[in-house]
Amino acid sequence: MIQELPVRTGQREEILDVTDLVQRAVSASGHLAGIVYCFVPHTTAGITINENADPDVKRDILYKLGKEIPREDGYRHAEGNSDAHIKASLLGFSQQVFFENKRLVLGQWQGIQFCEFDGPRNRRLLVKVVALA
């Protein structure tokens, strides 16, 4: 079963740690070990795995993306959010994480990060927890 987890963003661009949301889905699945698939069904938001300890990492990612892909740059897309589409495409729309003993297997400083580039919005994160034999 695919679970739909709501994600509310509060700014045009921000990175939200959704590790706990995904961990709760894994814990509730009843599976001891497996893989969890995370998918963002939006064209102007993405998902990545990166450091979750120092908030400056998130700020640095947004800063560099903004510098390389500015909001206004002669884009032809009429909605005015071409930069958001490009940023989301670069980060990607899915991640997969193993879990053992009902716990996500991530590095010491890693977290699952939902990346908003055209907010604020009510978003969805789709999660599929699969047991491994």
Q: What is the pLDDT of residues 45-61, one digit of tens each?
A: 999 999 999 999 999 99
Count of domains observed in the chain: 1
Distance CA 56, CA 41 (A): 27
pLDDT in tens, 68-91: 999 998 999 989 999 999 999 999
Eight-state DSSP code of residue 12: S
Using the Cα atoms of residue 60, residue 61, residue 67 and residue 73 in order, give the sign of their dihedral. negative
Residues 6 or more apart whose Cβ sits within 8 Å of residue 35: 96, 97, 98, 99, 130, 132
CB of 18 closer than 8 Å to CB of 5: yes
- Looking up residue 17, the CATH number of its domain turns out to be 2.60.120.460
Q: Is 18 exposed, middle or buried (0-12, 13-18, 19+ CB in 10 A)?
A: buried
pTM reported for the whole predicted model:
0.96
Domain range for 9 is: 2-131
